[in-house]
Amino acid sequence: MTIYAYSSFTYSYLDRARVLARTLRDHHPDWRLCAIITDLPPDGAKADDLLADFDMVITTEDLMRDALPGTTKGWIFGHNIVEACTAVKGRMMEHLLDQPDAEKVLFFDPDIAIFAPLNPLLDALDTAQIILTPHQVAPDDRGNVMAIVDNEICSLHHGVFNLGFVGVSNGTEARRFAQWWGDRLMDHCVDDLPRGLFTDQKWCNLVPCFFDDVRIIRDPGYNVASWNLSQRKVTFDPEGEPRVNDHPLRFFHFTKLGPVGDQMTRRYAHDNPEVLEIWAWYRRAVAAARDASVPEGYWHYGEFDNGRPIPHHARRLYRDRADLQTAFRDPFCVEDGFLDWLVDNGILDPLIDAPPAANTAETRP
């Protein structure tokens, strides 16, 4: 039987995904590493070369073809890059559970790196079918208002569990969970906090309510990130191995690598220089994994086929309007007419991308 580990990303995150794959393989060379990629390779690049670190690669168009016959491109169009990469996680989990040798399936965000063997997670899946990691496993002190706002209130807003990781064993409850999660993400994976939605994450607040055999992993060595550093002290043991609250550091989640991640990390690691050392290592590892054939910020589905960027409000409009989906089956294709329709109805400026000046809810194709 086989352990499957997978991640979901675009080519702009290939450098991070390579670090995940290589650190995972260092500790678990026998696992089967898989990628679900919502992208097409840049001109002149070959997917096989770019994704050689993975044993199995599936594109979103291939994964969704049966579920969305003839409408896969329209479905992708209705999501921004983050929504699209998270919306496929449930269906990919179902696909891997259907593999005849699949014993356990684990998902990792591409901006995670593995620092120690993950055998305790496999042990947990011997007695549970679904395992999740909360954003926090201990409360902040009452007087630390900034940490409560950044961490606990943020979790109430964005989701109790961090879905940068989830693991399942191949059983009835896990399959029920994967199907339910996949269904919800196909229809409702959007970043719309006023409506109570934050891509794939808030749905899993319901997992302990809907499913049996759920285990919450409270070991502080898992999913260490800016949102829990106020309660997790990172040190190095005499052999130089990182530890968290005297537990082995299993994996670190380097969310928002760049100015935002730097700010949040410095805020809570100002008296913990070991965290900054780990971040510095990760920056070097990502830089070394970068591929010059991938332009910075590249995403094949970020533009119409004439090269014009697709603004977020155009995606939302298409997603919310069944009439537009019926009229324009391939909205990326300029010849299909959706771009012209957006311009003709004043939703896009003929020369620049600007939000519509008036309510266009009643316009029709």
pLDDT in tens, 86-136: 999 999 999 999 999 999 999 999 999 999 999 999 999 999 999 999 999
Does residue 364 have a pLDDT over 80?
no
Percentage of the residues of the chain whose pLDDT score is greater than 70 = 96
The Cα-based distances of 173 to 86, 134, 211, 213 in angstroms read 21, 20, 6, 7
Does residue 159 have a pLDDT over 50?
yes
Q: pLDDT per residue over 279-332, tens digit each?
A: 999 999 999 999 999 999 999 999 999 999 999 999 999 999 999 999 999 999
Tell me the CA end-to-end span of the chain in Å, nearest whole number.
52
Residues 6+ apart with CB under 8 A from 213: 128, 129, 130, 171, 173, 174
Give the pLDDT mean for 60-65: 94
Residue type, 351: L
Give the pLDDT mean for 16-45: 97
Does residue 253 have a pLDDT over 70?
yes
**Banded pLDDT at 222 (limits 50, 70, 90):** very high
Does residue 71 have a pLDDT over 50?
yes
pLDDT given for residue 251 in this prediction: 98
Give 321-363 as a 3 state SS string: CHHHHHHCCCCCCHHHCHHHHHHHCCCCCCCCCCCCCCCCCCC
User: Would you state the structure tokens that stand for residue 1, as one six-digit string?
Assistant: 């039987």
91, 92, 94, 99: CA torsion to nearest 10: 150
CB 58 within 8 A of CB 37: yes
pLDDT given for residue 353 in this prediction: 52
State the average pLDDT for the chain: 92
User: Would you state the structure tokens that stand for residue 345, as one six-digit string?
Assistant: 């109805």
pLDDT given for residue 178 in this prediction: 98
pLDDT given for residue 165 in this prediction: 98
Q: pLDDT per residue over 267-287, tens digit each?
A: 878 789 999 999 999 999 999
Strand partners, 168: 105, 130
What is the arrangement of strands in the sheet containing 102-108, beginning at the earlier edge strand?
Answer: 56-59, 32-37, 2-9, 102-108, 161-169, 130-134, 214-216
The model carries a pTM of: 0.93
For the residues of 37-87, what is the DSSP string, one character each?
E-S-PPTT--HHHHTTT-SEEEEHHHHHTTTSTTTHHHHHHTS-HHHHHHH
Give the pLDDT mean for 164-175: 98
d(Cα 127, Cα 139) in Å, to the nearest integer? Answer: 27
Q: Which tops the pLDDT comparison, 93 or 67?
A: 93
Percentage of the residues of the chain whose pLDDT score is greater than 90 = 80
